[in-house]
Chains A and B, each alone.
Chain A
Amino acid sequence: MKANLILSNVLLGKFAVLTLLVGLVAGCNELSKDTAEPDPVGGPALVRVLTESQYRATIRDIFGEDVPVNGRFNKPIRSHGLNAVGSSEAGFSPAALEQYVISALGIAEHLVDEGRFNELTPCDLPAGEVVNERCLREFVSEVGYRLFRRPVSDEQLARFVSQAQFAQATLASPYAGLRYALVSMLTAPEFLLRVERVEPRSHRDDLAELDAYSKAERLSFFLANTSPDQALLEAAAKGALDIPEKLSQHVERLLDAPTLDAAVRAFFSDMLGFGAFDELVKDLDLYPAYNTTVALDAQEQTLRDIVRHLIKQNGDYRDLFTLRTTELTRPLGVVYRLPVASRNGWELTKFQEPNRLGIQSHLSFLALHSHPGRSSPTLRGASIREIFLCQEVPDPPADVDFSAVQSAPTDTIKTGRDRLQMHNNEPSCSGCHKIMDPPGLVLENFDGIGQFRQTESGAVIDASGDLDGVTYQDHQGFAQALRNHREAPRCVVEKMYRYAIGRDTVWKERYYMDYLIKSFEEQGYRITELMRSIALSENFFSIANPAVAEFAGQEEESL
C-alpha cells in the first residue's frame, strides 16, 4: 500500500478526502457485498525464519519450561515496518547457524542430564541398554512431527535413524542415539525455517492455497506465536482445516488459549519496534535515571498495558492512545515520578500528570525515538506517523545541514520548536517537517527518556499544533486526535495482516483491507475480533498461482 506515502499536509488532506469519496462510492455500488469478504488475492508462498520468541516458545511447549536455550540469536531483519516481514527475507550466516547448533546441543544435553528422554520416548527404555531401531523410529516420528510441524518423511526418518545409530555405535552412552537424533532435527532446515507448501484450489486456477500443515503453521504462529500443537496437527492431517466449521473451532480454541497473550505481545512488540532497544544509548550525565532495567521494564510496561486493555478487558484499540491506567515497577516509578509500593514486580497505577496518557507517552516510545542526549520532535513525529498511522515519511535530503538543530541553546533558540523553525525556512526541508514535526512537538513536554518537563532551557514549551486538520493545545488534545484519526485503525489492520502473512500487502488486496477495516470498525475495534476475521478469511490461506499471478517472475527454474 504505497499509496500512503505523503509529501505534504495539502496532499494528505486531498488523499483523505479522496479515499473517503472512493469509500462512499464503493459502498453504494457494492451494497449487497459490503459484509462479505472480497475474493482472495494471495501472494507468494514464503520461507520464514522462526523468530527468537517462536523458537523459545516451541522448545518450551515440546520439551518443558526449564529447558535452556543457550544460543544468541541474530538481530532480526526489519522490512516494511515489521520484523515479521523481514523474517521472509532473513538468511543464516555461519555465525548465526552456529548459535542454533549450540542451542541444539544444549537442549539435548539438558534432556539427558535431567533423565527426560524416558518421557520423550514413546517406547519403554530399558535402563542402560542401547535404544533399538523401532524405538528410535518412534522417537523421530513423534518429536519430528512436532518440530517440523508436519509428518517426517520416509527419507528424513531413515536419515535421522541412521545418524542416531551411528551415534550409538560411536559413543558408548545409552542415550547417544536419541541425543543426536534430536540435535539433527533441531538443526534441520525444516525446523528452523517455515517453508510454506502450496496445493492447487479445486475451483480456481488463478489461485492456489497453503497445504493443510502450512495452514496449521500460519494459524498457530499468528494466534499463539508458537508451533502448532498436537490437536492442530491432527486437524491438518484429517483435512479438518479445509472445513469452515472445524477451522472456526480451532480459531476459537486458540483465541481462548493463554497463548493469545504471547501472540498479541509478539505483534505489538514487533509493530512498536522494540528490537531497537538493544542498541539504544542514552547520555548518562543528562539522563541518570536511565539504565538497562528501565529500558527492559519500559517495554514490558507497554506490552502489559496492551494485553490488559486489549485482551483482559477486551477494550477498543483506539483507547490505547488515551489510556491513563498503567503498570509500573520501582525503576520506572523513578522516571515517571510515581510511587510504586511493590518492591519487586508490577503495580497497577494511574498517571497523575494530565498530559501523560496513551502508549505514545510511555518511555518505550519517547526514549526509543529520541537522540542519546535530547528529545527529537522529528523522530517522534515520523514514528507517530509511520508506526501508528502507516504514513511513510521520506528520508531527509542527503545534503541537509543539521548544525542549527544540534547547536547549544542560545538567547533565541531554546526549545525543540525553536530549533526546527530553522528547517521551515528551507524549502527542501519544510515539506516533510510540516508533516513530521507537529506530532513530535506535542511530545516535547517529555525529555529524551520521557521525563515530564514544562520548560526547556528556561523557556516554556509550546506543545500546541494540529494533526491532519485537528488542532490541539497540549498532549491531552493530541491523544484524542490520534485516537480519533481515521488512519489509526486502518494502520493496525494493515500491520496485523502483514504480520500474519509475513509479507507486504499488494495493490490488489486493497478491497480485502477495506473489508477488514470495516469489520474492525463494526466490531468496536476489538483486536481479537480483527485476529479472528483474518484467521477465518479465505485470503489468509490463499497463494497466488505463480503461473498467472503478478509473482510470475519468481517461477522455478529447473534444478
Chain B
Amino acid sequence: MKKLNRRGFLRGTLNGLTLGVALPVLDCFLTDSGKAFADTGARIPTRFGTWIWGCGHIPELWIPSSQGHNYEMPPHLASLQPYRHKLAVLSGFDVKLDGVPNKPHVTGCLGLRTGVPVPNTTVKAPTLDVLIADVIGAQTRFRSIELSTSGAKKSYSYRGPDSPNPSEISPMDLYQRLFVDGFQNPNNRSFKPDPEFMVQKSVLSGVQEERRRLLKLVGTGDRARLDEYFTSIREIEQKLAFQLEPPAPVEGFSLPGAPEAWSNDPTMENVMAKHKVMAELLARALQSQQTHVFNVLLSDTASNLRRPGTTSTYHTLTHEEPEDLVLGYQREVAWFAEQSMFAWRDFVAALDSIPEGNGTLLDNCIVLAHSDCSVAKSHAVDGIPMMIAGTGGGRIKTGFHLAGNADPITRVGLTLQQVMGVQTSTWGTMSMQTNRAVTDLLV
C-alpha cells in the first residue's frame, strides 16, 4: 500500500498517465441566476461578451469626478444615464508594460484581454472571452460570435498567437450565419440535467448526517454556529436543485427579418447605423441562445472611423489635431469619442429592449466594454477606460464608478472569469499578475 507522501505529489504523474478528463462546469451554479430563479422560478443562462471601441477617451469628459453610486454622469457618458444602475464605470486601471515595447493600439488591448503585454499580436495566453467561453460556451451552437462594425475584418478574441477568431463584418452574413444556416429553435431542445450537479447535490445533502452527532459534541453557543453551517449547506443544495430543473423556455422570441446590404464605408454615420442593426441581430441570437459569448468591435483600435468629406480618420486625428487651447483637449477627437459612447448606448439598449425572465436580456448578460488605450495621441495604456453592463443574473454588482488608482487592469479580467465560473485564483504575468478580485463588483 502506498503511503500518502507529499514528495510523491510533487514528483508529478507517477505512472506517466495524464488523464484529459473533460470536466463540465463545476461551480458556476453557485451564483447562476439565483435572482432570476427567485423571481420567476425559471433558470436563465448568463451570457458574457466584450465590446471594444478604439482610441480611448477624453479623460476630462469621460471619468466621473467622484466614486461610488452617486457620481455625476460625465458629459461623454450622459447618454447612458437611463442605464446607469445597470452599468459599472471603471477608470484608472493600468496595463503594466514591465518594459515590453508598446505597440500602439495592440499592446494595451491584448494586455487587458490576456493579462500579458505583447509587442504585437503574438498573444501569450488566450483572451478572457475564450477562457470564459470554454466554461459557458460549450452547450450552445456557437462557442462565441465575433463581429466588427466598421468594415475592418479584425477581432481581438484569440485562442492562440496570431490567430484571431474572425469577425463578421456584414449584417447580411451575420444574419445568414445566425438565423438561416442551422438555426436551432431554443424551445425544441431537450433538457438533460447535468449529472455533475446531481452528484454535487448528493454530496452536500449527505453532510446533514453529521449534524446530530456534531451538535452533541459542543456547547450551546457553538451549537448555533454549527447550525448556521448546516443551514448554509441546505441553501447551497437548493441552488443546485435549481440547476437540475429545465431551463426557462425562451419567451417572446421571433425571428428577425433579413437586413439589407450595407457598405463598408467607415464614416461614423454609416458605422453607427450598421452597428445598431448588428447589435439587434446579436441580441436576438443571445435571446434564442444560439451563443452565450460574443465579442463586438465597434471600431478598430487604430480606428479607421472618419467623417464624411474629410481625409483624416479618427486615428490620424488623435495624432495630428492640436489641442484646443481653451477646451484643453482635441475637439474633433472628442467628437469621435462621444459618438463611440452613443454606439455603446445603442448596444446596451439593444440588449435591454428584450424582456427576459423578470427583467431584460441585459440583466442576464455581463458585457465588458473597453478601449485599447486611455489617451490615443500618446498611446498611453495606463487608465484604459472600461465599463461593465449587466449583472449576469445577479452574479455581480453594478451602478457605480470605481477608480482603479493604477492597480493592474487584470483585476477586472480575473473577477469576471471567477464570476463566470473559470477556476482560477490568479491571472496575468509580471506586474499584472494578480490574485485580487475587484470586491466592489462582487455580490
Contact = CB atoms under 8 A, between A and B. Distances in A.
**Direct A/B contact, Cβ within 8 angstroms:** yes
B273 interface: no
B425 A138 contact: no
Contact of A142 (B4, B209, B225): B4
Given A70-B424, A118-B14, A171-B199, A557 B220 contact: yes
A127 B18 CA distance: 10
Interface string B212-240: 11111111111011101111110110000
Interface string A44-83: 1111000000000000011111001110100000000000
A219 interface: no
A72 B218 contact: no
A509 interface: no
A159 B425 contact: no
Interface stretch (B21-29, B72-80, B147-155): B21-29
B68 to A, nearest CB: 12
A101 B31 CA distance: 12
A396 to B, nearest CB: 27
B10 A171 contact: no
B195 A171 contact: yes
Interface in B182-230: 195-196, 198-200, 202-204, 206-207, 209-210, 212-222, 224-226, 228-230
A91 interface: yes
Interface in A20-57: 44-47
B8 A159 contact: no
Contacts of B220: 554, 556-557
B265 interface: no
Interface stretch (A181-189, A245-253, A426-434, A463-471): A181-189
Contacts of B23: 109, 112-113
Nearest to A557: B220
B2 A121 contact: yes
Given A63-B9, A556-B216, A109 B207 contact: no
Which 3 pairs across A and B sit closest by C-beta, in order of nearness? Answer: A64-B9, A554-B219, A91-B228
Contacts of A174: 19, 21
Contacts of A180: 199-200, 203
A559 B2 contact: no
A167 interface: yes
A106 B418 CA distance: 12
Contacts of A90: 225
Nearest to A106: B423
Contacts of A116: 9, 13
Contacts of A102: 27, 30
Interface stretch (A190-198, A319-327, A511-519): A190-198
Contacts of B218: 45, 47, 195
B226 A123 contact: no
B208 to A, nearest CB: 10
A453 to B, nearest CB: 23
A239 B110 CA distance: 60
A280 B10 CA distance: 38
Given A92-B228, A142-B4, A146-B4, A189 B207 contact: yes
B4 A112 contact: no
B260 to A, nearest CB: 48
B254 interface: no
Contacts of A554: 219-221
9 contacts: A90-B225, A94-B236, A95-B443, A97-B236, A102-B27, A109-B423, A115-B18, A170-B199, A180-B199
A210 interface: no
A187 B235 CA distance: 14
A155 interface: yes
Given A72-B437, A97-B233, A114 B18 contact: yes
Contact of A195 (B19, B214, B228): B214
B1 interface: yes
A112 B30 contact: no
A554 B228 CA distance: 18
Interface in A274-317: 284, 291-292
A184 B216 contact: no
Contacts of A93: 228, 232
Contacts of B235: 94
A136 to B, nearest CB: 14
A94 B233 CA distance: 7
